[in-house]
Structure 1
């Protein structure tokens, strides 16, 4: 990493399990040296669903690397490969996979509220 840019291959960053579900995440913020946003790679295996949540004061953008599904305010949306989804802080969201294929997403959150470890002001929605 230099002062002006950085390049990271997600496979070089250890995968961790989310603390609220079985899905794995690679936290790319620190390896990239990002200071104005959070960056994560999320891998959703068939049948997996991340925890419905919001982020207080943090907008998120999700990029589907190879096609995927996202639930927004309780409604599941199919997203094509390369599709981009913006989610307002107060909108309940979660990634889901009701297919037989693995889905890979890049997630960007700004501003970078909270800490890298706690994904910002992560608010788990009660069912």
Structure 2
């Protein structure tokens, strides 16, 4: 691997769980040597729902590696394999799976605020 280029096979990265839900994640940022964005592979099994949240100051892009579903401001959107979703920092979003198939996403966040261990500007709304 050179300093200007890197690759990673997500299948070779151990799965971990997010702190806020049971969904699995493969952390790719460090393995890629990324310094200007955060990169994760998110695996959403049937029936799973990630925590609705925003990221103060961080825009996110989600790439559907399989057909998938994303919640935007509480509304579920079906996303076809290969489609790309951009989400504004202030927009409440979450990944979910109301199907019988596993959904796989690549999630990119820039600038790289927070991490899977320390979400930093990750904001979960109170359920009042």
Note whether the superposition's TM-score is higher than 0.5. Answer: yes
Residue in 1 that maps onto 2:82: 82
Q: Give the match for residue 60 of structure 1.
A: 60
TM-score normalized by the length of structure 1: 0.96
- Counterpart position of 2:22: 22
Q: Structure 1 CA distance, aligned partners of 2:121 and 2:104? A: 23
Q: Partner of 1:94: helix, strand, or coil?
A: strand
Q: Which moved more, 1:113-122 or 1:55-64?
A: 113-122
Note the residue ranges of structure 2 that are not aligned, 5 or more in a row: none
Q: Is the 8 A contact 2:26 2:41 kept in 1?
A: yes
Q: Work out whether residues 29 and 37 of structure 2, in 8 Å CA contact, stay in contact via their aligned partners in 1.
A: yes
> Taking structure 2 as the reference length, what is the TM-score of the superposition?
0.95
Report the aligned-residue RMSD: 1.1
Quote how far apart the aligned CAs of 1:75 are. Answer: 0.5
2:19·2:116 contact (CA, 8 Å) conserved in 1?
A: no
How big is the shift at 1:115?
A: 4.3
Between the two proteins, the alignment pairs up a number of residues equal to: 127
